[in-house]
C-alpha cells in the first residue's frame, strides 16, 4: 500500500498494478486514483475491460498501439478472472510489455500460483485490500464525522458499526444517510442510527438465533417471515443460520480455552466489539446443542436438495424445533 501511494504521489509509475482483496471500496478508490494520476481525463488513451469474456489478443493489440498525442496508454482489467486461470498469454506478454502501456488489474479473488500473478508480483506492484480491522474502521468513521462537524460517542459508534458491518462501501452509504438525517444537530445518537441505518441480514439472523436461544418461538418466526418478505431465499437464510451456529460453536470453544473477546474476534474474523455479543449469545447454548443444530442444518439442506421437503417449510421446522 505504501509503495502504491508513493507512486501516485511522485508520478513515477510501474507498468503493472494489481489491486485485489475483499474490500471493494478500497479497490475501486485506488483504481480511480491510479487512473487520475496516470492519464488524468485523457479518455482517448484509456481502455476499460470487465468480466470474463475478454479477448486477450485485443488487449495486447491495444497495449502495442502508440498512445494518441500522449506518453501513456492505460488499460484497466476488472474481474476478468485471468489471475485464477487463462492468463498465460497475457503473462507472457507482460514479461516484456510496450513501454507506453500501463496495466491495472482489479480482482476480488486471485490464485497466487497462477503464472500471471507471478509475473505481476515480480515485475509490477500487487496490493491486497483485505477487510479492515476495527481500529481502522473506527478511525475512518470518526474522520467522516469530524468532516461533517458532528460528534458521536464511543457507544454510538460501536452501535453504528454493528448495524453496518465491515464493508466500507456500506458504511459510507449509511453514514451519508445518517448525516442527512442529523443535518441540523451536532450529535449523532443511537436513536438516530436505529431510525435511519438499514439492518443487515446478518443482524436479522443474529436476532433470530437469540430468539431461538430464549425459546421465543413467535419472535423467531416473525424474523424469518420478515426475511421472506424481503425476498431472501430460504436456502440463503438456512446457510446464514448454519453459519451463525458454526460461529457460536467456535466462539464458545475459544472462550472455554481462555481467550478474551478481542482475541476471539481476531480468530473468527469479526470486530472485537461484536465478539462480545457472540460470547454472550453462545453462553446461552450448550456445546452439544450447537453441534446438533449444525447437523440439523445439514440434514435440512439435504432434504431440500433431494426434494424430500419444501425449502420454506424445512427452514421453518428447523426454527420451530430449536425454539420449542
| pLDDT tops 80 at residue 199 | no
> Is the pLDDT score of 261 beyond 80?
yes
User: Are 113 and 140 contained in the same domain?
Assistant: no
**171 shares its domain with 208:** no
Query: What pLDDT is attached to residue 18?
Result: 97
**Final residue belonging to a domain, choices 104, 128, 152:** 128
CATH code where residue 159 lies: 1.10.8.60
Q: Are residues 111 and 162 in the same domain?
A: no
Q: Which residue has the cell 453514514?
A: 175
Tell me the per-residue pLDDT of 153-197, one tens digit each, with 9 for 90 and over: 999 999 999 888 888 999 999 999 999 999 989 999 999 999 998
- Note the helical H segments in the chain: 2-10, 24-39, 56-64, 88-94, 115-123, 134-147, 154-164, 168-181, 190-196, 201-213, 217-229, 234-256, 261-268, 272-282, 287-305, 311-323
Q: How confident is the model over 221-234, as a mean pLDDT? A: 90
Q: Is the pLDDT of residue 275 over 90?
A: no
Average pLDDT, the chain: 92
Question: Are 104 and 152 part of one and the same domain?
Answer: no
**Are residue 282 and residue 205 in the same domain, yes or no?**
yes
Instruction: Indicate if 59 and 140 belong to the same structural domain.
Output: no
Q: What CATH number is attached to the domain comprising 31?
A: 3.40.50.300
Q: Are strands 46-50 and 73-78 parallel, antiparallel or unpaired?
A: parallel
Neighbouring residues of 132: CB distance < 8 A, sequence distance ≥ 6: 23, 26, 140, 166, 168
Q: What is the pLDDT of residue 200?
A: 77
| Grid coordinates of 183 | 443535518
Residue 158 sits in the same domain as residue 192? yes
Q: Say which residue the cell 424481503 belongs to.
A: 230
- Let me know whether 174 and 285 are in one domain: no
Give the mean model confidence (pLDDT) for residues 18-37: 95
What's the CA gap between 198 and 241, in Å, rounded? 20
Q: What is the full DSSP assignment across 244-255?
A: HHHHHHHHHHHH
Q: Where are the beta strands (DSSP E) in 79-133?
A: 101-107, 125-128
Res 202 pLDDT > 80: no
In whole angstroms, give the CA distance from residue 141 to residue 152. 10
The domain in which residue 160 lies consists of: 134-196
Give the pLDDT score at 265.
85
| Predicted confidence (pLDDT) at residue 272 exceeds the cutoff of 80 | no
First to last CA, the chain: 52
Give the model confidence (pLDDT) of 286-324 as tens digits. Answer: 999 999 999 999 999 999 999 998 999 999 999 999 888
What CATH number is attached to the domain comprising 296? 1.20.272.10
**Cβ–Cβ under 8 Å, residues 94 and 16:** yes
What's the number of domains the chain is made of?
3
> Of 143, 169, 196, which closes a domain?
196
Mean pLDDT, residues 141-148: 96
What's the CA gap between 248 and 35, in Å, rounded? 43
**pTM beyond 0.85:** no
Please choose, from the candidates 233, 257, 3, 308, the residue with its C-alpha nearest in 3D space to the C-alpha of residue 126.
3
In this structure, are 109 and 36 located in the same domain? yes
Q: Is the CB of residue 171 less than 8 Å from the CB of residue 164? A: yes
| CA–CA dist 111, 114 (Å, integer) | 6
Kindly state whether residues 215 and 164 are assigned to the same domain: no
pLDDT category, 110, cuts 50, 70, 90?
very high
Maximum pairwise Cα distance, the chain: 74
pLDDT tens column, 2-16: 899 999 999 999 999
Last residue of a domain, one of 105, 128, 151: 128
Buried b (16+ CB within 10 A) or exposed e, 20-35: bbebebbbbebbeebb
Amino acid at each position: 500500500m505504501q509503495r502504491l501511494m508513493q507512486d501516485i504521489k511522485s508520478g513515477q509509475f510501474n507498468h503493472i498494478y494489481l489491486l485485489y482483496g475483499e474490500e471493494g471500496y478500497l479497490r475501486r478508490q485506488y483504481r480511480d486514483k491510479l487512473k487520475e494520476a496516470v492519464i488524468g481525463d485523457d479518455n482517448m488513451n484509456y481502455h476499460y475491460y470487465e468480466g470474463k469474456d475478454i479477448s486477450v489478443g485485443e488487449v495486447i493489440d491495444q497495449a502495442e498501439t502508440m498512445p494518441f498525442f500522449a506518453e501513456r496508454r492505460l488499460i484497466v482489467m476488472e474481474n476478468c478472472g485471468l489471475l485464477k486461470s487463462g492468463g498465460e498469454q497475457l503473462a507472457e506478454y507482460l514479461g516484456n510489455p510496450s513501454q507506453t502501456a500501463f496495466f491495472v488489474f482489479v480482482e476480488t479473488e486471485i490464485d497466487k500460483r497462477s503464472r500471471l500473478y507471478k509475473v505481476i508480483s515480480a515485475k509490477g506492484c500487487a496490493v491486497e485490500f483485505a477487510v479492515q480491522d476495527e481500529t481502522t474502521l473506527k478511525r475512518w468513521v470518526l474522520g467522516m464525522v469530524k468532516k461533517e462537524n458532528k460528534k458521536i460517542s464511543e457507544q454510538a459508534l460501536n452501535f453504528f458499526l454493528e448495524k453496518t458491518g465491515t464493508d466500507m462501501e456500506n458504511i459510507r452509504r449509511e453514514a451519508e444517510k445518517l448525516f442527512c438525517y442529523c443535518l441540523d444537530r451536532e450529535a449523532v445518537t443511537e436513536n438516530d442510527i436505529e431510525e435511519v441505518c438499514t439492518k443487515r441480514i446478518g443482524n436479522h439472523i443474529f436476532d433470530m438465533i437469540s430468539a431461538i436461544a430464549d425459546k421465543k418461538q413467535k419472535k423467531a418466526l416473525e424474523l424469518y417471515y420478515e426475511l421472506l418478505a424481503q425476498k431472501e431465499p430460504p436456502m440463503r437464510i438456512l446457510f446464514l443460520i448454519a453459519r451463525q451456529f458454526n460461529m457460536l460453536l467456535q466462539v464458545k470453544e475459544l472462550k472455554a480455552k481462555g481467550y478474551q473477546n478481542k482475541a476471539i474476534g481476531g480468530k473468527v474474523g469479526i470486530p472485537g466489539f461484536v465478539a462480545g455479543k457472540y460470547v454472550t449469545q453462545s453462553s446461552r447454548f450448550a456445546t452439544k446443542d450447537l453441534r446438533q443444530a449444525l447437523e440439523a442444518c445439514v440434514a435440512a439442506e439435504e432434504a431440500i436438495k433431494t426434494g424430500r421437503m419444501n425449502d420454506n417449510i424445512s427452514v421453518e421446522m428447523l426454527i420451530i424445533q430449536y425454539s420449542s
